[in-house]
With several copies, the nearest count.
Chain A
Amino acid sequence: MVDPVVSDIGYLVSAALFLLGIKRLSSPKTAPQGNRLGAYGMLLAVLVTMAKMYNEGIIGLELIAGGLALGTIIGAWMAIRVEMTGLPELVALFNGFGGGASALVGLSEVLGRIHNGDVPSPGIELYATWVAIGLSGLVGWLTLTGSLMAMGKLKGGFYIPLTKKDDRGRRKWVNFPTWGPPWLNFVKGSLLVASLALICMTIQEPENTDYIYAIAGLSGLLGILFVLPIGGADMPVVVSLLNSMSGIAAAFTGFVIGNNVLIIAGSMVGAAGLILTFIMCKAMNRTLPAVLFKSFGGGGKETVTRTKVGSDPEEVAMVCDGISKCVIIPGYGMAVSQAQHAVKEFADLLEAEDVEVSYGIHPVAGRMPGHMNVLLAEANVPYEQLIEMDEINSELPECDVAIVIGANDTVNPVARSGEGPLGGMPIIDADKARVVVIIKRSLSVGYAGVDNDLFYEDKTMMLFGDGKKMMNELNAAFKDL
C-alpha cells in the first residue's frame, strides 16, 4: 500500500534534481555540478522504475537488461570516442534518439493496447491518451528526422565512398544540400495540418493503425523539410529548438503512460530549450523566424578569383619580434587542425619576450557556441586571456599584430555593411590591428560562403597551410630569431 507513494516521491525528487540540474547548468561555476545532478536524477528515476517493476513482477528481464546494456555501451562509446570537433553532431544525434524513443514508446503503447483489445471506449480516457500518443509521435518523429538532418548539416557534408582519392588523399566530398524555395513553407504547413487532422481521426477510429503510421510518416517528412532549407551556420539554433521539442515529446509520452516525472522533466526541458534557442539566436544576431524560414549560409562555396601572395613563417616571426601587444583570433580552422597547443606555445614564446597576449573569442567562432573556449582550455590557456568580442574590439586599435588562425566569417569586414548572408553579424575587428596575419590553407571562403576582403588588404599577411603545421613552423622560426 505504501509502495506507490515511495516511488512517486522518488520521482518527485528526481524531478527536483532535474530542475536544479538545469538551473546550475546555466551558470559557469555550477555547471559541472548541474550535469551531475541531472545524471543522479535520471539514475534515481530508472532505479525507482525498476523497483516498481520488480514489485509488480518482471517479465521482460532479458529485453530490459539487454536494452540498457546495449544503449549504455553505444552511448558511452560514442561519448568517449568523439573528437571535440565532432561534438555538435553528436549532440544532434543524441537528441534525435531522444525524440525517436518518445515516439516509439507512444507507438508501442498504442499497438500493445490495440493488440490486447485494451482500447478504451469513447470518453475522456480515449481522447486524452490517443491525442497524447498522436502528439508524442508527431513531435518525436519530427525531432528524430530533423536531428539527423541537422547532424548531416553540421558535418557540412560527406565523402562519397569508393570515389577516386584526390591529391590530398581524400575522396570526393559533397556538401549536405541546403534548399528551400519559398513555397516549401506551404508544404511544411500542410504537412503539419495533415498530421493534426490525422490525430483527430485516430480518435474516431482508435483501432486503425494506418492513421498512426501515417502520422509517423508525415511528421518524419516534416522534420526533414523543416531542416532542409536552413544553412549549416544556423544549425546550433536548430538543434537547440529540436532539443526543446524532444522535451515536449517526452512530456506527451508522460501523458500517454500517466507518469508525472516525464511530464515535469519533459516540459521543463521543452521550455528551457526554447529560451536557450532565443538566447542563442540573439548571440548570433538573428531572429528565430529568420533562421527557420529564410535559407542562409553554409551552402555554395563562391569561386575565388582574386589572388594574394602568401607570406612565410620566417617573415611573420620577424614582424612579431619586438611588438608589445598581440591578439590571437582563433576560428574553426584551429579546431579542425587541432592547433591549440601550438598556438599556446606561440603565446608562451611571445610572453617570454614581454609581449602582451590575449585571445579574441567570437561567440560563434567554430561550429558550436563555446567551441574555442573548450579547445583553448584544453591547451591550458589561462581563462583570463580569453576576451569576449566586445571587449577585444576596444583593444584592437592598439594592437600591433592580430593573428587570425582558421577564422574567416568572424573577422569578415563585409558584415559591417549589413548586406549579404553575414550582414549585421557582429565581428571581431581584426582589421583595426596594425598588422594582420591570417593562417589558413587557401583564399577560400568560410562557413557562410562569403569572400573576405580582409585577405587582400595591404596590412594583411596570409600564411597558407594547415593550421597546426604553420603554427609549429612559426614557433620554430621565432625561436631561431
Chain B
Amino acid sequence: MSLTLTALVASITVFVLAIFLGFELISKVPPTLHTPLMSGANAISGITIVGALILSNSEFHNGNPGLSAWLAFAALVMATINVVGGFMVTNRMLEMIAGKKNRKKGGH
C-alpha cells in the first residue's frame, strides 16, 4: 500500500468533490426530517466498518491476533452497532412519520 503523490492528490480531489457534493445535497429539510436525516447520515458515517473489517483481517502476527487486531475488533463491533442500529432506528422513525400515512391510504 505504498502511497504515491499522484494517488494522494487523486484522493484529495475525491475528498474535495465529495465535500462540495455534501454541501449541495442538502438545501431545505422540513423540521420533521431533521432527526431521521441526522440518524441516517450517522449510519452512513459508519462506513468506517470497511476499514475495521480490513484491519481485523490483516493485523495478525504469526496467526495470533495482536493488540492492534483486538483494537480493530473493537472498531468492528462499534462500527457495526452504528451501522445496523443506525439504519434500523432511522427506519423506525420514518415508518412512524411516513409509513402510517401510506397504510392509511391503503386502508381507508
Q: When the two chains form their complex, are residues A258 and B1 in contact, meaning their CB atoms are under 8 A apart?
A: yes
Binding site of B, secondary structure by majority: helix, strand, loop or mixed?
helix
Asked if A186 lies at the interface with its beta carbon under 8 angstroms from chain B, I say no
Give CA–CA (A2, B57) in the complex, Å.
22
Q: Which A residues are CB-close (under 8 A) to B96?
A: 84, 374-375, 377-378
Give CA–CA (A270, B20) in the complex, Å.
10
Give CA–CA (A363, B31) in the complex, Å.
6
Q: When the two chains form their complex, are residues A28 and B45 in contact, meaning their CB atoms are under 8 A apart?
A: no
Asked if A196 lies at the interface with its beta carbon under 8 angstroms from chain B, I say no
Known contacts A275-B23, A276-B38, A67 near B73 by CB under 8 Å: yes
A12 — nearest CB in chain B belongs to which residue?
A: B13
Known contacts A4-B5, A97-B78, A257 near B55 by CB under 8 Å: yes
Q: Mark A1-31, 1 if CB is under 8 A from B, else 0.
A: 1101100110010011011011101111101
- In this complex, the member of B2, B5, B43, B99 whose beta carbon has the largest number of chain A beta carbons within 10 angstroms is B43
Segment of A109-117, A187-195, A294-302 engaged in the interface with chain B: A109-117
Q: When the two chains form their complex, are residues A71 and B81 in contact, meaning their CB atoms are under 8 A apart?
A: yes
Q: When the two chains form their complex, are residues B68 and A369 in contact, meaning their CB atoms are under 8 A apart?
A: no
Known contacts A38-B40, A94-B82, A374 near B52 by CB under 8 Å: no
Q: Mark B40-58, 1 if CB is under 8 A from A, else 0.
A: 1111111111111111111
- Closest beta carbon of chain B to A222's beta carbon, Å: 19
A52 — nearest CB in chain B belongs to which residue?
A: B54
Q: Which B residues are CB-close (under 8 A) to A59?
A: 57-58, 60, 63
A61 — nearest CB in chain B belongs to which residue?
A: B57
Contact with B68, one of A108, A236, A383, A388 (Cβ below 8 angstroms):
A108
Q: When the two chains form their complex, are residues B44 and A22 in contact, meaning their CB atoms are under 8 A apart?
A: yes
Q: Which A residues are CB-close (under 8 A) to B71?
A: 104, 107-108, 111
Q: When the two chains form their complex, are residues B100 and A104 in contact, meaning their CB atoms are under 8 A apart?
A: no
Q: When the two chains form their complex, are residues B26 and A279 in contact, meaning their CB atoms are under 8 A apart?
A: yes
Q: Which B residues are CB-close (under 8 A) to A129?
A: 3
Contact with B94, one of A18, A31, A74 (Cβ below 8 angstroms):
A31
Known contacts A46-B50, A108-B72, A260-B14, A31 near B89 by CB under 8 Å: no
Q: When the two chains form their complex, are residues B43 and A42 in contact, meaning their CB atoms are under 8 A apart?
A: yes
Of the four ranges (under 10, 10 to 19, 20 to 34, 35 or more), the interface on chain B belongs to 35 or more
Q: When the two chains form their complex, are residues B89 and A87 in contact, meaning their CB atoms are under 8 A apart?
A: yes
Tally of contact residues, A, Cβ under 8 A: 128
Known contacts A79-B88, A98-B79, A38 near B8 by CB under 8 Å: no
Contact with A263, one of B15, B65, B66, B90 (Cβ below 8 angstroms):
B15
Q: Which B residues are CB-close (under 8 A) to A23?
A: 24-26
Contact with A268, one of B3, B18, B61, B92 (Cβ below 8 angstroms):
B18
A239 — nearest CB in chain B belongs to which residue?
A: B38
Q: Mark B1-33, 1 if CB is under 8 A from A, else 0.
A: 111111111111111111111111111111111
- Closest beta carbon of chain A to B47's beta carbon, Å: 4
Asked if A181 lies at the interface with its beta carbon under 8 angstroms from chain B, I say no
Q: Which A residues are CB-close (under 8 A) to B6?
A: 4-5, 8
Give CA–CA (A105, B68) in the complex, Å.
9
Segment of A172-180, A242-250, A397-405, A428-436 engaged in the interface with chain B: A242-250
Q: Which A residues are CB-close (under 8 A) to B40?
A: 21-22, 25, 34-35, 38
B34 — nearest CB in chain A belongs to which residue?
A: A369
Give CA–CA (A239, B96) in the complex, Å.
21
Give CA–CA (A84, B89) in the complex, Å.
10
Q: When the two chains form their complex, are residues A39 and B47 in contact, meaning their CB atoms are under 8 A apart?
A: no
Contact with B44, one of A28, A42, A58, A253 (Cβ below 8 angstroms):
A42
Asked if A368 lies at the interface with its beta carbon under 8 angstroms from chain B, I say yes
A256 — nearest CB in chain B belongs to which residue?
A: B51
Q: When the two chains form their complex, are residues B13 and A260 in contact, meaning their CB atoms are under 8 A apart?
A: yes
Q: Which A residues are CB-close (under 8 A) to B44?
A: 18, 21-22, 38, 41-42, 247, 265, 268-269
Q: When the two chains form their complex, are residues A42 and B18 in contact, meaning their CB atoms are under 8 A apart?
A: no
Q: Which A residues are CB-close (under 8 A) to B66?
A: 111-112, 115
- Closest beta carbon of chain B to A302's beta carbon, Å: 28
Give CA–CA (A22, B10) in the complex, Å.
22
Q: Mark A349-391, 1 if CB is under 8 A from B, else 0.
A: 0000000000000011000111101110110101100001000
Q: Mark A36-55, 1 if CB is under 8 A from B, else 0.
A: 10110110011001100100
Q: Which B residues are CB-close (under 8 A) to A254?
A: 11, 51
Segment of A120-128, A304-312, A316-324 engaged in the interface with chain B: A120-128
Q: When the two chains form their complex, are residues B80 and A68 in contact, meaning their CB atoms are under 8 A apart?
A: yes
Q: When the two chains form their complex, are residues B98 and A31 in contact, meaning their CB atoms are under 8 A apart?
A: yes
Q: When the two chains form their complex, are residues A91 and B8 in contact, meaning their CB atoms are under 8 A apart?
A: no
Besides the known contacts A26-B28, A63-B57, 4 further A-B residue pairs in the complex with CB atoms under 8 A apart = A32-B95, A78-B89, A112-B69, A255-B15
Residue numbers of B with Cβ under 8 A of A are: 1-61, 63, 65-69, 71-101, 104
